[in-house]
Structure 1
Amino acid sequence: MKSFAKLIEKLDATNKTKQKVAALADYFAQAEEQDKLWTIAILSHRRPPRPVNTTLLRTYAAELALIPLWLFEESYHIVGDLAESIALVVPNDQHTCHKSLSEILQELVLLKPKTEYEKKLYVQHMWMQLDYYSRFVFTKLLTGSFRIGISQKLMTKALSLVTSVPEDELAYRLMGNWNTEETTFEELIFGRNEQAYVSKPYPFYLAYALECDVHELGEVTQWAAEHKWDGIRGQIICRKGEIFVWSRGEELVTDKYPEIADLVNFLPLGTVIDGEILPYIDGQIGLFNDLQTRIGRKNVSKAILAKVPVIFKAYDILEYQGKDIRELPYQDRRLLLEELVSRTNHPSLQLSDQMNFTSWDEAIAERELSREKRSEGLMLKKKSAPYQVGRKKGDWWKWKIEPLTIDAVLTYAMRGHGRRTNLFTDYTFGLWQLNEAGKKELVTFAKAYSGLTDKEFAQVDNIIKRTTLERFGPVRSVEPTLVFELAFEGIAFSNRHKSGVSVRFPRILRWRKDKKIEDENTLDDLKALIPK
């Protein structure tokens, strides 16, 4: 555990890619086999289920520190990170724990079904035996919020240095339906688990946002275009009489989309298709907000299947007749995909329309129709390009439409996290609406915490502290004096929000010092942006 904690400390202390890869490679070269396997699992988001909720952890920590819970809560809000707060507040000078990472994680797996009293004894006992950083990491494992800025790509690069297995092959091996109970490090990296192979998707190819003028891409005839749909990127894998649906987040979601799972009876074996899971209501593509009613549901009822049916919009084919065809040019793969979708003839599998333009002006005109067609813009794909691994520049570009914008008033603020712990940087915004008495009031509709410079955040923080009206734990309501222009990717009606509207990916574009709050946009202005 100490070795793993030292690794996390090194990774957390630098933003330099080379140093992170070197730290990972050094760890993988020296760690025990089972610890290496668990490290890969943790960094691949395969952590064990959370055995204790955070409310109980805060209570346990306050009790050990001999302080009232309210004082721990206030300290936690200042520090901004629960694991760090606990690591700091729990008294400890023993440092007697010599358990390995794998031993502790196995104990956490067994801890989940135990009584609250047994959980308390175990957690407090571990805190008292671990050194500061090991205690911090242990608590991160307990809470499940283990985010240290390590991408799958960095981990595979480090593993490749140590094992001499090519990065692309490692990326493929680490995907799929494997777990620490049914495999070993040796099998995962060097062996071939037949069952895991059957379900395993390919690493996704991801596009960069187009930042240059589109004319700089060269001849338009070298490029194919299709609309960029706003759903869940995924792969359909059909092998050995079984079908698997994977999301880009490496989640197996076959049982959540039975419409797509039904393709097992129609697709030929040895087929892998890349595409997008989309809501498809009354014969047209819906909004991401529609799809959210199905995301996260453990049981998909007949009612929700009828209300929000889905389709799989096919973009590419990666495996055909059992062969990996990613090295073929995109235009060749596209012909195979068109033939396959046509032959399959299933309502849940639809081909993403491809467009071939004779001029970039035609492409620009089509992109301007994106919002009308409920897409986010265009994807541009070089016809000669292979299907690559990860995010690469040059062959695939996402050419998104400009975001929707609106001017809104800051109404609430909360302290940030990390280096912004001492500043109020997490904001809630409101828009004007007439209440039943005919008076204007601000109705909250969005939260955002990015888009300002460090200098601007400091200036806004100073104003928030001077204009606070009320405090609700870590949240402050403020006098409405500040106006910001917000950008967002999508908008829809919502019964879950007080405003009746939900916006997708809101962020701050700029601080509108030139505007008065009385003149700002209304909730009706926002609703007018919702697609008809």
Structure 2
Amino acid sequence: MKRFAKLFTTIDQSTKTNVKTAALAEYFAAAPDADRLWTIALFSGRRPKRAVTTTRLREWAAERAGIPLWLFEESYAIVGDLAETIALVLPPNTTQDDQSLSDWIAALREIYTQDEDARKAFVLSAWDRLGGAERFIFNKLITGGFRVGVSQKLMTRALARATDKPEAELAHRLMGNWHPDDTTWHALVEAEDASADASRPYPFYLAYGLEAEPQDLGAPEDWRAEWKWDGIRGQLILRDGQYFVWSRGEELMTDRFPELARALDFLPDGTVLDGELLVWPDDQPTPSSFNALQSRIGRKTVPKKLLTDAPVVLHAYDLLEWQGQDIRDLPFADRRATLERACADLPAQAPIRLSSQLPFADWDALAATRSDARDAQAEGVMLKRADSPYLAGRKKGDWWKWKLDPLTIDAVMIYAQSGSGRRANLFTDFTFAVWNGNELVPFTKAYSGLTDAEFRQITAWVRKNTLERFGPVRKVTPHHVFEIAFEGIARSPRHKSGVALRFPRMLRWRQDKPLQEANTLADLEEFLRIYG
């Protein structure tokens, strides 16, 4: 655990990629196999289940620290992170511990089945034996809230440095439905047949946002264009007579889209498609909004009525594997040609549609097409160089997303909540409202878009202008106006305002704008009429 705590501290305290990569590579080169395997699992979101409720942890921590529970709760509200609060209020550890990370995780998972007295004895013993960063990490693990700022790309780069294996191969190995319970370090990272899992997807190729003019990309004939759809990016894998659906976030979503099983009837075994999952009824010229797709996302089982009301198709725009052969190294134009041949004779009942290419003679013509994206239920245009291979991760140069400018509305901040991690001492999560007559009606939350300096400034203001407290949330004096950017809007009976925004974020702090000039609920309704 000491070795892992040192690694975590180095990563958590640095913003430099080279420092994080070097620390990870050093760790992967020296740590025991079981610890290396669990480190990859933890850093990729495969956390142990919560073993103890946060209510009990707060009670036990206050008891061990010899302070009343109300004082612990006040401290928690200031610190903003439960694991850190517990680590700070507890007395210094009385003994030392040399157990490994994997030993601690095994012990944590074992108490999951024990009664509350046994759990309490284990937790108190652990607090006595662990100190500093080790105690903090233990608290994170036991609450199921362990997270760290390490991207998959950074981790594969460090593994490549430690193992001398290619990054692309390691990225492929780490994807898929694996867990430390059903694999080993050798099988996952070192063995020659580590990629034999039929369900394993390929690492997704991610595009950069186009901020300059498209003319800077060169000759338009070197590029291909298509809509940037507003759905869920996914891979449909057909192998060994089975189908698998993976999201870009490496989540296996097969059971949520049973209609895609019909793809086995129309495409050969050994096919992997990259595309967008969209709700698209047969009688509609364009896909439904993302709001329709949300009804499918959280479902582990899908009732027949929902399958009928919100039918999902894969809008395919790339072909990664064909007849069992990995073709990612081929130019995009060649992969696209094969994809078009594969989809040429698909019947209407097939759950796959070919994403159309957008013809354009010059960049001005494409700009004119892009301006109609919202009418097509798209977010903008994708640009792909015709000779580009399918790479892993976010690479600049060959794939660009040219999104429409976001919709915006001016709103009043009425609630504030502390952030997490390095921003735990700052108020970063805000609730915003618009006017409905003389009343402010909350309609969205946002937590990104400001600089650290602006967050510090608004935090100081929140502390001086709090009207009420509701746990970690503070109601503040209505005063500040923010310009909120968003990608889409939909009707939502779950919200008091009656609307829900897609990807809301703070575009800028309108310190120049008085409170009374914020937008109204009627303005939101007009957005809904036009774009909903």
Q: Where on the TM-score scale, by shorter chain, does this alignment land: which range?
A: over 0.9
Aligned to 1:488: 486
Q: Distance in 1 between matches of 2:22 and 2:454?
A: 36
- Measured after TM superposition, the shift of residue 421 of structure 1 is 3.9
* Residue of structure 2 aligned with 1:294, choices 269, 293, 296: 296
Residue 522 of structure 1: aligned partner: 520
Give the Cα separation in 2 of the matches to 1:194 and 1:3.
27
Given the alignment, which residue of 444, 447, 457 partners 1:446?
444
Deviation of residue 356 (structure 1)? 2.7
**Structure 1 residues 132 and 514: CA distance shift in structure 2, 3 A:** closer
Distance across 2 between alignment mates of 1:38 and 1:158: 15
Residue 255 of structure 2: aligned partner: 255
Aligned to 1:352: 355
SS in 1 for 2:373: coil
1:130-169 paired onto structure 2 within 5 Å:
130-169=130-169
Given the alignment, which residue of 333, 336, 349 partners 1:334?
A: 336
Spell out, residue by residue over 1:31-81, the C-alpha distance to the aligned partner (whole angstroms, 9 max, x if none): 111111111111121222222232332222222222222211111121121
Instruction: Provide closer, same or farther for how the CA distance between residues 465 and 190 of structure 1 changes in structure 2, counting only shifts above 3 A.
Output: closer
Structure 1 residue 229: Cα displacement? 0.9
Q: For residues 456 and 93 of structure 2, what CA distance do their matches in structure 1 show?
A: 38
Residues in 1 aligned to 2:310 and 2:18: alpha-carbon distance in whole angstroms: 46
Q: Distance in 1 between matches of 2:440 and 2:131?
A: 49
Deviates more, 1:348-357 or 1:418-427: 418-427
The equivalent of 2:323 in structure 1 is 321
1:461-484 C-alpha deviation (Å, 9 max, x unpaired): 344344333222332222222211
Aligned AA (1:431): V
Under a length normalisation based on structure 1, what TM-score does the superposition of the two structures give? 0.95
Label 1:383 to 1:109 Cα distance change in 2 as closer, same or farther (>3 A). same
How has the CA–CA distance of structure 1 residues 118 and 288 changed in structure 2, closer, same or farther, with 3 Å as cutoff?
Answer: farther
Aligned-partner Cα distance in 2 for 1:240–1:354: 31
Contact 2:175-2:202 at 8 Å conserved across structures: yes
* Residues 154-303 of structure 1: pairs in structure 2 closer than 5 A: 154-193=154-193, 197-281=197-281, 283=284, 284-303=286-305
The separation in 1 between residues aligned to 2:517 and 2:217, in whole angstroms, is 43
Q: Is the 8 A contact 1:90 1:128 kept in 2?
A: no
User: Distance in 1 between the 2:261 and 2:231 partners?
Assistant: 17
Instruction: Tell me, yes or no, if structure 1 residue 397 matches structure 2 residue 410.
Output: no
C-alpha spacing 1:275/1:522, structure 2 compared with 1 (3 Å): same
Deviation at 1:88, TM superposition (A): 1.3
For residues 214-255 of structure 1, what are the alpha-carbon distances to aligned partners after superposition, in whole Å with 9 as ceiling and x for unaligned? Answer: 111111111111111111111111111111111111111111
1:469 and 2:493 are equivalent in the alignment:
no
Report the AA paired with residue 502 of structure 2: R
Asked if 2 retains the 8 angstrom alpha-carbon contact of 1:407 and 1:484, the reply is yes
User: Paired residue for 1:406?
Assistant: 409
* Distance (whole Å) between structure 1 residues aligned to residue 217 and residue 481 of structure 2: 38
Q: Is the 8 A contact 2:228 2:381 kept in 1?
A: yes
What is the distance in 2 between the residues matched to 1:117 and 1:312?
50
Corresponding letter in the other structure for 1:294: R
1:135 positional shift: 1.0
Unaligned runs of 5+ in 2: none
Aligned with 1:528: secondary structure?
Answer: helix
> Which stretch has the larger CA shift, 349-358 or 200-209?
349-358
Aligned AA for 2:336? R
Distance in 2 (alpha carbons) for counterparts of 1:161 and 1:418: 28
Instruction: Give me the whole-angstrom Cα distance separating, in 2, the residues matched to 1:411 and 1:93.
Output: 42
Amino acid at match of 2:517: D
- Residue 235 of structure 1 aligns with an amino acid whose one-letter code is Q
Amino acid at match of 1:497: H
Matches of 1:419 and 1:166 in 2, distance apart? Answer: 33
The equivalent of 2:6 in structure 1 is 6
Any gaps of 5 or more consecutive residues in structure 1? 435-439
Q: Offset at 1:202?
A: 0.6
CA distance in 1, matches of 2:502, 2:476: 24
Do the aligned residues in 2 keep the contact of 1:178 with 1:196 (CA within 8 Å)? no
Give 1:266 shift. Answer: 2.7
Once the two structures are superposed, residues 133-179 of structure 1 have per-residue CA deviations (whole angstroms, 9 ceiling, x without a partner) of 11111111222322221111111111111211111111111111222
- Which of 362, 372, 376 is the matching residue for 1:369? 372
Length-normalised TM-score, structure 2: 0.95
Q: 1:189 to 1:333 in 2, by over 3 A?
A: same
Aligned counterparts of 1:92 and 1:215: Cα–Cα separation in 2 = 62
In structure 2, the CA distance between the partners of 1:422 and 1:138, relative to structure 1 (3 Å rule), is: closer
Cα drift, residue 347 of structure 1: 3.3
Residues 194/43 of structure 1: CA separation in 2 closer, same or farther (3 Å cut)? closer
The 3-state SS of whatever aligns with 2:272 is strand
1:437 aligns to what? none
C-alpha distance in 2 between matches for 1:107 and 1:466? 45
Q: C-alpha separation between the residues in 2 aligned to 1:24 and 1:269?
A: 38
Q: 1:426 maps to what in 2?
A: 429
Structure 1's 32 and 114: CA in aligned 2 closer, same or farther, altered over 3 A? same
Q: Secondary structure at the match of 1:186?
A: helix
- 1:194, distance to aligned residue in structure 2 (A): 7.1
Q: What secondary structure does 2:229 align onto?
A: coil
Match of 1:311 in 2: 313
Distance 1:161 1:420, change over 3 A: closer
Q: Distance in 2 between matches of 1:14 and 1:379?
A: 34
Report the residue type matching 1:328 in the other structure: L
How is 1:24-39 mapped onto 2 (pairs within 5 angstroms)?
24-39=24-39
Residue range with higher mean Cα deviation, 172-181 or 513-522 = 513-522
- Partner deviation per Cα, 1:419-472 (whole Å, 9 max, x = no partner): 5444433221101114xxxxx211001112333334433443344344333222
Taking the aligned partners of 1:193 and 1:113, their CA distance within structure 2 comes to 35
The answer to whether residue 381 in structure 2 is matched with residue 378 in structure 1 is yes
Change (3 A) 1:528 1:337: same
Letter of the 1:114 counterpart: Q
Contact 1:245 1:261 in 2 (8 A): no
Bigger Cα displacement from structure 2, 289-298 vs 71-80: 289-298
SS of equivalent to 2:375: coil
Contact 2:173/2:195 (8 A) holds in 1: no
Identity %: 55
Deviation at 1:116, TM superposition (A): 2.9
8 A Cα contact 2:263 2:350, kept in partner: no
**Counterpart selection for 1:511 from 487, 509, 512:** 509
- 1:491-502 matches, within 5 Å, as 491-502=489-500
Q: Equivalent residue of 2:158, what SS?
A: helix
Counterpart Cα distance in 1 of 2:193 and 2:178? 9
How many residues end up aligned between the 2 structures?
527
